Amino acid sequence: MKPYLDWHIGKLDSTVVETLSKSYSRLMSALLCVRNITDIGQAHEFLRDDTALFSDPNLLADIDKATARIKLAIQNKERVAVFGDYDVDGITSTCVMTSYLISKGVPADAYIPDRLTEGYGLSEEAIITIAESGITLLISVDCGVTGAKETKIAKELGLDVVITDHHECPDTLPDASAVVDPCRADCAYPFKGLAGVGVAFAVLRALEGTDKTEELIEEYGDLVAIGTIADIMPVIGENRAIIRRGVQSLRRGTRCGLRCLMSDCGIVHNKITGADLSFMLVPKLNAAGRMGKVRVAYDMIMCSDEKSASELSKTLCALNNDRRSVENKIFTEIRDSLLGGDVTAKVSEPIVAYSEIWHNGVSGIVASRLADTFGVPAVVICIENGVGRGSCRSFGNFSIFDALDSMKEELTTFGGHFHAAGLTIPQENIVSFSRRLKEYYKSKRKGSGKAQLMIDFKVSDNSMLSLDNVESLEDLAPWGPGNPPPILAITGAEILTIISIGGDRHLKLKIRKNGQIFESVCFGVSTKEFEFNEHDIIDIAFEPIVNEFRGSRSVQLIMRDVHRSAPAKPRTKRGSDNADLQHLCKRFFNGAEFSKAERSLLRPDRRDLVAVWKTICGKRLANPLAIADQMETLAKAAELSNSAKAYICVKAFEELGLAKISRDGLSVTITPKHRNGNSKVNLADSDILRRLSN
């Protein structure tokens, strides 16, 4: 885990939280508050998941042309090819459209290009192959809007093309029978955040009539949900309804191939969640396209035979293991090159990495890991025969698509959206492209440009993390852009235990705050990489989840970042020292038993003692020294972590006869015989220091 350079912690409006708490749990109410939802009506609207949220598909530009041409193909039982992308959005889009056409008696074939040999989108070779096979209609899904040249070739060969896509549109659209894309400038469809599979599903709703929406979501909702999550689309409004309804479909387990895959992932299908889709199903489906075996994923989804589906699912899992190994090797190579052996090094500008030996299939996921690790946009380019094919991922509020568009003359092709994009580039242009991307980023980034972790709020009441409260978040899920997972903070917590798990690839911690113990898991960090020890006092940023193990459910904190707790900021008013530390000092001098962590807060080391002594003796502070007014100033001047340590030093000096505290406790003076520093004492004779060392 690489610490973020900065945390941005949101503030809660207690009045809003109290209002929302009349209808929702306190934790849910707090999270709605930081999402700028301030009343019950807004909350109800945000949490809706009914199909009435779906916009009228007839508002899509060219939808009348698209449905007319598809209905003609259905009527005449024409041979149709469904051309999809090789990612999960494209695979599920292809499955949805092909399944629908087959259900209508149309001899439909699926064509998904090989990522490694054909690349992204329509190609001249694919168009010729499709046209020569006797197909008369090609329907593109999740691609095609930038394929003007290929569409022209198809038209010349007598092949009609209906394009359905969701990517940003070029100024001039392809001359197709229809181009259905909500991102068209002239498109009246109000929700612009559909995935490619969402657009394909909207075409089906237009074909069948909006009164059949419930039936269609029952049939295809699982696939539409998977593709929408996989393409990282905004989880609000229509998409949120799609995903929630799709998860319900998956829980019924009606699709044989997906049921087998869930089983191989260790998921009980009737308990699957949106998080299971994101972190378990989607990576395995994606592995097929990344490793050049996209047909495995398509065939598994379409399979109706239990035995065949099981075999295909296991093949997918094996492909995912291969993908992970290749990905880790490339990521480690780039990371080590960036850090140059210094694990504390920071990266403040976009990463552009390229090689002639990397596996192109994992470039996107490596770029995503780099962006998340270093907090900057990342581009990973694989070069073959003088041509670079790259995957781009953004970070924060920075549009990678706009960045590419600003330097498109450097590129052969590019496409994508705000958060992710792909490109092809002549090898000789990569260096100038890298320079221009960094200049563009510098001109657009706001503030310090430091990577930030956006934290919803700091937990001040442990009861907010009760099992009931965390369970209630199921109603706010699924998570994604527009509705991110809750990231909370706990400050000043003590680490009780650190346990290595998963072959020392992950850590499990127990932490204590205000007497309550929480279990936290830190993924992807070994004991060697974790810079903290038991009894250290830390601030953690985390996502609260419900962990189920052997039938028992408990709250678990998934650690997103950790910092060492900073000392309290000095205050100047009399008696304003940190109240907890004041109380700790009082307990210590009253003879209370202390934990190791509590002793560490008060215990000065030899450097602290020397620094305080020199500060008192020097000219930086007056003598006599007013304790109540200047103890925090003393700690700051001596560079101590807190003012309580400074007070312990002074009390130890008094015990050893080096100094004298006035009877009223307001000042300290150095004993005359020690004022010149000529006589020496043994610090080991201090009972105060000895007690703190035990």
- CB of 668 closer than 8 Å to CB of 625: yes
Rounded to whole angstroms, the Cα distance separating 583 from 592 reads 11
Domain-located, residue 365: yes
| Local confidence band at 459 (pLDDT 50, 70, 90 cut-offs) | very high
Please say whether the beta carbons of 503 and 523 come within 8 A: no
Looking at residue 692, its pLDDT comes to: 86
Residues 183, 83, single domain; the answer is: yes
Residues 501 and 376 in one domain: no
Query: pLDDT for 420-442, tens place per residue?
Result: 898 999 999 999 999 999 999 98
Three-state DSSP state, 307: helix
Compute the distance between CA of residue 182 and CA of residue 165 in angstroms, rounded to an integer.
8
Which domain-ending residue is among 392, 421, 452?
452
Same-domain check for residues 65 and 204: yes
Residue 638 clears pLDDT 50, i.e. is over it? yes
Q: Distance between CA atoms of 637 and 616, rounded to whole angstroms?
A: 10
Cα(672)–Cα(649) distance, integer angstroms: 18
Report pLDDT for 420: 86
Q: Is the residue at 258 inside a domain?
A: no
Residue 61 lies in a domain: yes
The total number of structural domains in the chain stands at 4
- Look up residue 641 and give its two tokens: 């972590």
Domain boundary among 393, 423, 452: 452
pLDDT in tens, 193-231: 999 999 999 999 999 999 999 999 999 999 999 999 999
Report the mean per-residue pLDDT for the chain.
Answer: 88
- Ranges 241-250, 403-412, 581-590: which has the least confidence: 581-590
Q: What is the mean pLDDT of residues 543-550?
A: 90
Give the DSSP letter string of 378-428.
EEEEEEETTEEEEEEE--SS--HHHHHHTTGGG-SEEEE-SSEEEEEEEGG
- pLDDT value at 256 more than 90: yes
Position 679 scores a pLDDT of 64
489-498, 519-528, 600-609: least confidently modelled range: 600-609
- Tell whether 241 is covered by a domain: no
222: left (phi over 0), alpha (psi -120 to 50) or beta: alpha
Q: At what angle do helices 294-302 and 256-264 cross, to 10 degrees?
A: 120
Q: Which of 423, 419, 347, 416 is nearest to 381 (CA)?
A: 423
pTM, rounded to two decimals: 0.75
Q: Is the pLDDT of residue 466 over 60?
A: yes
Lowest pLDDT segment from 31-45, 323-337, 585-599, 678-692: 585-599
**105-116 pLDDT, tens digit each:** 999 999 999 887
pLDDT at 627: 56
**CA separation for the pair 654, 660 (Å, rounded):** 5
What was the pLDDT predicted at 85?
93
- Who has greater pLDDT, 451 or 176? 176
Same domain, 434 and 483: no
User: 357, 315, 351, 317: which is closest to 334 by C-alpha?
Assistant: 351
Question: Are both 466 and 371 inside the same structural domain?
Answer: no
Q: What is the pLDDT of residue 134?
A: 93
CA-CA distance, 183 to 189, in Å (whole number)? 9
pLDDT of 667: 66
Q: Please report the pLDDT score of residue 343 as a whole number.
A: 62
What pLDDT digit, counting tens, does each position of 129-186 carry? 999 999 999 999 999 999 999 999 999 999 999 999 999 898 999 999 999 999 999 9
Report the pLDDT value the prediction gives residue 664, as an integer from 0 to 100.
54
Checking if the pLDDT of 623 tops 60, the result is no
278 within some domain: no
pLDDT cut 90: percent of the chain above it: 63
User: In terms of residue numbers, what domain contains 469?
Assistant: 6-47+456-564
446 has a pLDDT exceeding 70: no
Asked, for residue 316, whether it belongs to a domain, the answer is no
Residue 523 CA to residue 534 CA, distance in Å, equals 18
Within a domain: 294: no
644 shares its domain with 525: no
pLDDT at 465 over 70: yes
Position 569 confidence tier, pLDDT thresholds 50, 70, 90: very low
Residue 86 maps to which CATH number? 3.90.1640.30
pLDDT band at 261 (very low <50, low <70, confident <90, very high): very high
Tell me: the pLDDT tens digits for 597-622? 777 778 888 888 888 888 877 755 54
Q: Which of 100, 55, 62, 51 is nearest to 80 (CA)?
A: 100
pLDDT value of residue 567: 62
Same domain? For 490 and 546 the reply is yes
Tens of pLDDT along 365-376? 999 999 988 889
- Where a domain ends, among 452, 480, 513? 452
In a domain, 224, yes or no: no
Average pLDDT over residues 543-560: 91
CA distance 137 to 128: 13
* CA geometry: angle 480, 290, 126, nearest 5 deg: 110
Poorest-pLDDT segment among 512-521, 547-556, 668-677: 668-677
**515 with 522: CB under 8 angstroms?**
no
Residue 32: which pLDDT band, with cuts at 50, 70 and 90?
very high
Residues 73 and 180 in one domain: yes
Q: Are 663 and 688 contained in the same domain? A: yes
- Residue 483 has phi, psi (to 5 degrees) of -150, 70
Q: For the domain that residue 34 is a member of, what is the CATH number? A: 2.40.50.460
Give the mean model confidence (pLDDT) for residues 665-693.
75
Residues 431, 514: one domain?
A: no
Q: Are residues 553 and 426 in the same domain?
A: no
User: 373, 103 in Cβ contact below 8 A?
Assistant: no
Q: Are residues 590 and 464 in the same domain?
A: no
Taking 60 as the threshold, does the pLDDT of residue 534 lie above it? yes
How many CB atoms are located within 10 Å of the residue 75 CB? 10
